[in-house]
Amino acid sequence: MKIAISSMGTDLDAQVDSRFGRCQRFIIVEPDTMKFEVLENSGATAAGGAGIATAQAITGKGVEVILTGHCGPNAFNVLEAAGVKVMTDVSGTVRHAIEGYKMGKYQASQKADTAPHSGMGRR
């Protein structure tokens, strides 16, 4: 199983990025072994369609679960159609988020939790 966490850094001690579509990168983790890879988010600087492009990139990596702060409707719809569970309102470090996931702290979202384009211009 692979989990992708929107991240502000390149390791497990980085902070979770509150944005899905416009985060700078993802940490993709195998939670049983804690082995991970870093995926730079090419959609972060897109003029439009960042959430969709990011969701398509993530689904192409075989990710089954997303941990992030917020996820807009366009990205959410792509992820949901691909069978990827989205868990929002995640904060702290990537390591903390993974541990929270393993302990059942997060529930799969039933819908997007933010409006379209809400990640534009925020850091």
Mean pLDDT computed over 113-122: 56
CATH architecture of 3-102: 2-Layer Sandwich (3.30)
Determine the Cα–Cα distance for residues 90 and 1; give it in Å rounded to an integer: 19
Give tens-digit pLDDT for 25-74. 999 999 999 999 999 998 777 777 788 889 999 998 999 999 999 999 99
Task: List the strands of the sheet with 85-87, edge to edge.
Answer: 35-40, 25-30, 3-7, 65-67, 85-87
Which pLDDT belongs to residue 45?
75
Residue with tokens 């799969």: 108
pLDDT of residue 119 exceeding 70 = no
Neighbour-count burial of 81, counting CB atoms closer than 10 A to its CB (0-12 exposed, 13-18 middle, 19+ buried): exposed
* pLDDT tens-digit map of 71-107: 999 999 999 999 999 999 999 999 999 999 999 999 9
